[in-house]
Structure 1
Amino acid sequence: MSQLWSSPKGSADSTPVRYAGRRFAQIIKLKPEFVAQYKEVHAAVWPEVLQQIKDCNIQDYSIFHDPETGILFASFKYVGSDFDADMENMRQNPKVREWWRMTDGMQESLVPGAKDSESGEPPWWRAVEEVFYTA
């Protein structure tokens, strides 16, 4: 991902300015036999995982489920200054990796060649393009 910070316009200062926020959306398929379990674990997300999400400058994180198609739709806002570094910090957290191993087994990636969340490339969740937004 490209750099998400810049110097104020006309400024020679190279001090990073916190990014005002970029919204992301992703999809994946939830295996039908895991619907109840997936909802159960997300009703009580581990505190270490929630803290890491916050520490990685992610806000307004939501996951929605369409029971007809099995699609999970996730959205969040990234407000940090270095998305790649923050995602690497997320990936380095042992509790997050444990969470991913648990939840990945309940999901079916829509990305050809994706192995799991921990691998990173190709991504486990498929990114989707925003085509409309109103604040």
Structure 2
Amino acid sequence: MWKPPQSPTTPTAPSPVSADGRRQNPGRRFAQIVRLKPEFVAEYKECHAHVWPEVLKQIKDCNIKDYSIWWDDKTGILFASFKYVGYDYEGDMEKMAGNPKVREWWRMTDGYQESMVEGAVSSEAGEPSWWKPVEEVFYQA
């Protein structure tokens, strides 16, 4: 992933310290795309207007912040972005996938979508991923 250059002359404020004494991870941004099937636009918007509390809690517990999903009505593309602020991304994603309610959510929402990743089966199946990762080419804080 491309990262913006940091000037060695620009001081950076130290990140806050967590309860266990570690410095807070400043975060790594992710972005992904998938296609929304046109016949499911209303259902997709409705379920995301009322995301299940167990799913929201698991996202937070897995150190994901600033999660948003955008939709382009011309192409049907859903664009998701989020910031991961934990220390063990793979471990947190395993915890996410281990939650039965999250897997149920994925089964429901995958039915509304068409993956753009060759060979992808579902969000539950793992690799290849259902949502296609996209490369960051510019960032301004």
Tell me by how many angstroms 1:82 deviates.
0.2
How many Å separate the matches in 2 of 1:124 and 1:16?
A: 33
User: What is the aligned residue count?
Assistant: 121
Q: In structure 2, what residue type is equivalent to 1:72?
A: L
Query: What residue in structure 1 maps to residue 83 of structure 2?
Result: 77
How many Å separate the matches in 2 of 1:121 and 1:16?
A: 31
TM-score in terms of structure 1 length: 0.87
How much identity, in percent, do the aligned residues show? 72
How many Å separate the matches in 2 of 1:17 and 1:121?
A: 31
Query: What residue in structure 1 maps to residue 112 of structure 2?
Result: 106
How many Å separate the matches in 1 of 2:80 and 2:26?
A: 20
Q: In structure 2, what residue type is equivalent to 1:45?
A: V
Whether 2:44 is the aligned partner of 1:29: answer no
Tell me by how many angstroms 1:102 deviates.
0.2
How many Å separate the matches in 2 of 1:18 and 1:27?
A: 28
Residues 56-85 of structure 1 show CA distances to partners (whole Å, capped at 9, x for unaligned) of 000000000000000000000000000000
Tell me by how many angstroms 1:18 deviates.
4.0
TM-score in terms of structure 2 length: 0.84
Query: What residue in structure 2 maps to residue 86 of structure 1?
Result: 92
Uncovered stretches (5+) of structure 1, i.e. residues with no partner: 1-14
How many Å separate the matches in 2 of 1:56 and 1:132?
A: 26
Whether 2:41 is the aligned partner of 1:55: answer no
Larger CA deviation: 65-74 vs 16-25: 16-25
8 Å contact from structure 1 (residues 59, 78) kept in 2:
yes
**Residue of 53, 65, 70 corresponding to 1:64:** 70
Tell me by how many angstroms 1:16 deviates.
6.3
User: 4+ runs of 1 displaced by more than 6 Å?
Assistant: none
Query: What residue in structure 1 maps to residue 121 of structure 2?
Result: 115
How many Å separate the matches in 2 of 1:85 and 1:92?
A: 10
8 Å contact from structure 1 (residues 61, 76) kept in 2:
yes
